[in-house]
Structure 1
Amino acid sequence: MTPPPLLVIATTLVVLLGLATMLTWAERRLLGLWQDRYGPNRVGPGGLFQAVADGIKILFKQDWIPPFADRPVFVLAPAIGMMTVLLAFGVIPVTALWSIAGDLNIGLLFVFATMGLGVYSVVLAGWASNSKYALLGGMRAAAQMMSYEVFMGLSTLGVVMTAGSFGLRDIVQAQAGLWFVIPQCLGCVVFLLAGIAETHRLPFDLPEGENELGAGFHTEYSGMKFGMFFLSEYAGIVLVSALVTTLYLGGWQGPVLPPALWFAAKTGALVCLFILLRAALPRPRYDQLMALGWKVLLPLSLLNIVATGAVLLLRAPG
Structure 2
Amino acid sequence: MSDLGWLEVVLRAVAVLAGFLVLPLLVGQTEHKVMAHMQGRLGPMYAGGFHGWAQLVADGVKFVQKEDVVPARADRWAFRLAPGVALVPCLIALALIPLSPNVVGAKVDASVLLVLAVIGVGIIGTLMAGWASANKYSLLGAMRAAAQLVSYELPMVLVVASVALAAGTLSLIGITQAWTPWWLLWQLPGAVVFFVAGLAELQRTPFDMPVADSEIVFGPYTEYTGLRFAFFLLAEYAGIVVMSLLFAVLFLGGWSGPWSGTLGWLWTLLKALVVAVVVIWFRVSWPRLREDQLQRLAWVWLVPIALLQLAVTAVGVVMMR
Q: Same fold (TM over 0.5)?
A: yes
Give the counterpart of 1:216 among 219, 232, 236: 219
Q: Which whole-Å CA distance do the structure 1 matches of 2:177 and 2:319 have between them?
A: 23
Q: Secondary structure at the match of 2:71?
A: coil
Aligned counterparts of 1:52 and 1:234: Cα–Cα separation in 2: 16
Question: Which of 11, 16, 20 is the matching residue for 1:12?
Answer: 16
Q: Quick one: which of 273, 281, 302 aligns to 1:297?
A: 302
Aligned match of 1:263 = 268
State the aligned residue count.
314
What is aligned with 2:68? 63
Q: Secondary structure at the match of 2:231?
A: helix
The letter of the residue matching 2:201 is: E
Deviation string, structure 1 residues 66-119 (Cα, Å, up to 9, x no partner): 1110000101111100001111112100111011112x1110110111111111
- What secondary structure, in the 3-state scheme, does the structure 2 residue paired with 1:85 have? helix
Does structure 1 residue 205 correspond to structure 2 residue 208?
yes
What is the CA–CA distance in structure 2 between the aligned matches of 1:303 and 1:268, rounded to whole Å?
29
Q: Residue 136 of structure 2 aligns with which residue?
A: 132
Structure with higher helix content: 2
Partner SS, residue 40 of structure 1: helix
SS in 1 for 2:186: coil
**Residue identity (%):** 39
Instruction: Give the TM-score of the pair, scaled to structure 1.
Output: 0.95
State the Cα distance separating 1:23 from its structure 2 match: 2.5
Which of the residues 221, 229, 235 maps onto 1:232? 235
Match of 1:274 in 2: 279
Q: Which residue of 2 aligns with 1:180?
A: 183
Kindly provide the amino acid, as one letter, of the partner of residue 273 in structure 1: V
Does residue 73 of the first structure (1) align with residue 78 of the second (2)? yes
User: After TM superposition, where is structure 1 displaced by more than 6 Å over at least 4 residues in a row?
Assistant: none
Distance (whole Å) between structure 1 residues aligned to residue 25 and residue 60 of structure 2: 8
- Please name the residue that 1:246 is paired with: 249
The amino acid of 1:245's aligned partner reads A
Counterpart pick for 1:113 among 113, 117, 121:
117
Q: CA RMSD in A?
A: 1.6
| Cα shift readout 1:16-67 (whole Å, capped 9, x = no counterpart) | 2222223222112111222344351222221111101111221222111011
Q: Secondary structure at the match of 1:101?
A: coil
SS in structure 2 of the partner of residue 182 of structure 1: helix
User: Post-superposition shift, 1:248?
Assistant: 0.5
Select 2:105's aligned residue among 97, 100, 105. 100
Of residues 156, 159, 165 in structure 2, which corresponds to 1:155?
Answer: 159
How far, CA to CA, are the matches of 2:288 and 2:170 in structure 1? Answer: 34
Q: Give 2:37's aligned residue.
A: 33
1:31–1:39 contact (8 Å) kept in structure 2: no
Alignment pair present for 1:88 and 2:93: yes
**How far, CA to CA, are the matches of 1:42 and 1:222 in structure 2?**
25
Looking at structure 2, the residues matched to 91 and 182 of structure 1 have their Cα atoms a distance apart, in angstroms, of 27
Unaligned residue ranges in structure 2 (runs of 5+): none
> Aligned partners of 1:22, 1:112: CA distance in 2, in Å?
24
1-structure distance, mates of 2:184, 2:246: 12
Instruction: Name the SS of the counterpart of 1:255 in structure 2.
Output: coil
- State the alpha-carbon separation in 2 of the partners of residues 236 and 39 from structure 1: 26
194-203 vs 304-313, which deviates more?
304-313
